[in-house]
Amino acid sequence: MSKVLTAYYSRKGENYFGGSIRSISKGNTERVAEFIQKAVGGDLFEIETVKEYAKDYHECTNEAMAEKKADARPELKKLPESIDDYDVIFLGYPNWWSTCPMAVFTFLESFDFSGKTIIPFCTNEGSGMGVSESDIRSVCPKAEVKKGLSIRGSEAASSGNKVQNWAKNQLK
């Protein structure tokens, strides 16, 4: 059986929910990551930046756009000691400007994913996976990057059965 890591970046606080801004105590991507871990086991790792983003949703999206334009690699609070023992990495993130938050690229560039399977999942309010899958393939060319799962953030809390079934099927 494969050794699994579920690594994710998630935003708590103000989030966009189908036309309005709501404050949430647990990020949408974090909820989905927990459903995956419950379904397939393995370890859970939260990707966290040293510098926090603005609490205001619109300010945060501006910061995210500036980071994307600069091709920034925000410093992370911590990293796993190693990913050598993992065969499969479920990688989760919100869709920020059609791809992963730049912090996810910091995480990806910190390790050698050669021979690993990366299974992306992302939360969004209608923009799907964007170009994130091809961006991950570019950063990790020696990994197998499977087709990802897109979950509407406003449906994340109620997506448990869908996510768990999908995650189990990825390991077959």
CATH architecture of structural domain 4-170: 3-Layer(aba) Sandwich (3.40)
Tell me the per-residue pLDDT of 125-163, one tens digit each, with 9 for 90 and over. Answer: 989 999 999 999 999 999 999 999 999 999 999 999 999
Q: What pLDDT is recorded for position 2? A: 74
Domain limits of the chain? 4-170
Kindly report the number of other CB atoms within 10 A of residue 41's CB atom: 14
Q: How far is the CA of 40 from the CAs of 1, 12, 53, 96, 122, in angstroms?
A: 10, 24, 31, 27, 18
Q: What is the pTM of this model?
A: 0.97
